[in-house]
A and B are shown apart, each in its own frame.
Chain A
Amino acid sequence: MPDLAIQTSALAKTYGGRPPVHALRPLDLQIAAGETFGLLGPNGAGKTTLVKLLLGLAHPTEGTAALFGRPVTEPQARQPVGYLPEGHRFPTFLSARETLRLFAQMSGVAPAERDTRATELLALVRLAGAGERKVGTFSKGMLQRLGIAQALMSRPRLVILDEPTDGVDPVGRREIRTLIEALRDDGVTVFLNSHLLSEVERVCTRVAILRDGVLVRDGSVADLTRQGRAWHLTSTPFPPETAAALAEAVAPERAAGTTAGATDGLVRSLVTLPDRPALNAVLDRLRADGVEVEAVEPVRQSLEDLFVEVVGESDQG
């Protein structure tokens, strides 16, 4: 069994009121150490509630949660965790370096290491020149980068980032993405909560979608975005009799020459079949008829398409 960074069992949260709000329905979730996990969902889906429950900011109505095997009810469960909250506020009267040192102390970082680590991280988030400036003078983007540095001070094994690119310009956004990829490469578990689906798609190995407090999709980005049983086929042109025989399953798409890296004279077709054996049967027939196959790729939808589809299901019913 893999080392689990996050594990929840029937974790649920209902806020009192009339009527009560079921912010999170009983949720079973396991995130292995080293995964880069993206949590998606429309506003009010329960994403923030889940994060709060994992970090002990809110108490579950039922169920349990653990971080690296320790119940989240124990403060020490948060020892290996770095967290960047959305809309965080740091004391404006502290400098960036003082802020990092202070939160390093709260995170249990050894005194001798605090200053060195602060210097490293200020450089990493491009705030080296602003380390002695008061946080109150920072722009939103600088605050966000300082927040990321704060989350990484204790060299966490799990980083929970809530809208990490919020307020950051495109260049900074790319840098944060690179940073997340570097964390992933270092084996750090990343839990990413973002509305920027393209970013989630780029950096996450696994994605889950919450809707109305219920986990409605969970899987790898590749699996979730695979579109039924359809493939893009790039090949030499079909002989007329072959095209006629396979007309029901294979439809011309467009000239492959227009796609990058394709050689002239190739054609692109959309293959729609019930399963993989049927696909291989078609490929065998094509080869038998002298067609040379360049590439076969599963048809995928973008994460954004999937998200809209899932949210649309909610709207419809």
Chain B
Amino acid sequence: MTGLFLLTLRELSARKVVVGLFVVATIVWVAMAFALQLDVVDGSLAGARLFGQETTDGPSDLDAPVLDADGQPVLDENGQPITEADQLPFESRSLLESVVFGAQAFVAGAGYWIGIVLALFATGGLVAALSERGQVDVILTKPISRSAVLAGRLLAVMAVMLALTTYLFGAVWLVMSIKSGLWNPRFLLAIGAVFGMFAVVYGVVTLVGVWSGSGPLSFIVTLGVLFVSLILAIPTLQEQVSAVWRPVVWGGYHVLPKFGSVGTTLVPQLATGGAVGSLYPLLSSFAFGAVCYALAFVLFSRKDF
């Protein structure tokens, strides 16, 4: 397994696209370090500048009442006006927190939606490449089990992607924390959510790659699964389809990974320190990934090359 692990690390390093992902991650945190200037006075945000341009005009924005369509203040259940700060997706109420958490939520979201797809693109062909004639003959005839071969390859991919996620999120967290003096360790939990969902989605890549031996096909099918899962996650979809299709939509949503739900709800909640509503989308996605990996290992062990 160690041999395949090391070979895969070398292969990933030889693929410039993985190096490119690390470069992009570096650009992100360096940009945040130099472009975003926070003026913190006595623990409060006095001003924020992005590339030297003022981006806030004081805390009064957050204290402003939310107005309805008639221009009247919206009241809460106690008859008090609801402010903009009350509508933030996290419990913090200060402008400083809103800026810091907002920036962290932005990075987490970008890392999730764009980063995972880029990571799939960079690593999607590795599993299928194992089945390529000429390579598979040399590797599988060594005195190692097929499970160890596949596990070595997957562990290397996971190690690199975990390192990449930790590097990006960790660096952004450090930069924002040092600049603002506001330390939000829960942001680091987003690393687990983003990496976990990458691992889940990579289960589809692995299964299709083992089955078909085609890197492009495994990448395309995985994108297809993500697309379908996003469609199925539309809250009103079940009400809009006919009764015949309703169970299909319901079943599809619960079986497939909840890529949209995790990305729109859980990751921002974790990144901004907000209360986590439900772990069901994440846990059921993990179950889906586990089934994909189990099937892939069984298929790989039984396949004729």
Contact = CB atoms under 8 A, between A and B. Distances in A.
Interface of A: 15, 52, 55-59, 75-79, 81, 83, 85, 87-91, 93-94, 102-103, 105-108, 150
Given A57-B305, A87-B133, A91-B11, A103 B143 contact: no
A76 B143 contact: yes
B132 interface: yes
A87 B135 CA distance: 9
B214 to A, nearest CB: 16
Given A87-B134, A89-B135, A91-B11, 12 more contacts: A57-B136, A57-B304, A59-B304, A77-B143, A78-B142, A81-B141, A89-B134, A91-B14, A93-B14, A94-B10, A102-B6, A107-B143
Interface of A, helix, strand, loop or mixed by DSSP: loop
B150 to A, nearest CB: 13
Contacts of A76: 143
Contacts of A59: 302, 304
Given A52-B305, A87-B134, A88-B134, A93 B140 contact: no
A91 B7 contact: yes
B91 interface: no
B64 interface: no
Contact of A55 (B7, B11, B135, B141): B141
B143 A108 contact: yes
12 contacts: A57-B136, A57-B141, A57-B304, A77-B143, A89-B133, A89-B134, A90-B135, A93-B14, A103-B3, A106-B144, A107-B143, A150-B138
A102 B7 CA distance: 8
Contacts of A103: 3, 138, 142
B145 A88 contact: no
Contacts of B141: 55-57, 78, 81, 83, 85
Contacts of A55: 140-141
B3 A93 contact: no
B97 to A, nearest CB: 47
B138 A79 contact: no
Contacts of A94: 10
B175 interface: no
Top 4 closest pairs, chain A to chain B, by CB: A89-B134, A85-B137, A93-B14, A106-B3
Nearest to B304: A58
A93 B143 contact: no
Contact of B3 (A52, A77, A81, A105): A105
B137 A83 contact: yes
Contacts of A77: 143
Contacts of B305: 52, 57-58
Nearest to B4: A106
Contacts of A78: 141-143
B212 interface: no
Q: Among the interface residues B2, B4, B140, which one has the most CB atoms of the partner chain A within 10 A?
A: B140
Contacts of A75: 143-145
B223 interface: no
Interface string B1-19: 0111011001100100000
B134 A85 contact: yes
B99 interface: no
A91 B10 contact: yes
B138 A88 contact: yes
Nearest to A94: B10
Contact of A102 (B3, B134, B144, B145): B3
Nearest to A83: B141
Interface string B112-150: 000000000000000000001111111111111100000
Contacts of A91: 7, 10-11, 14
Given A58-B305, A75-B144, A93 B137 contact: no
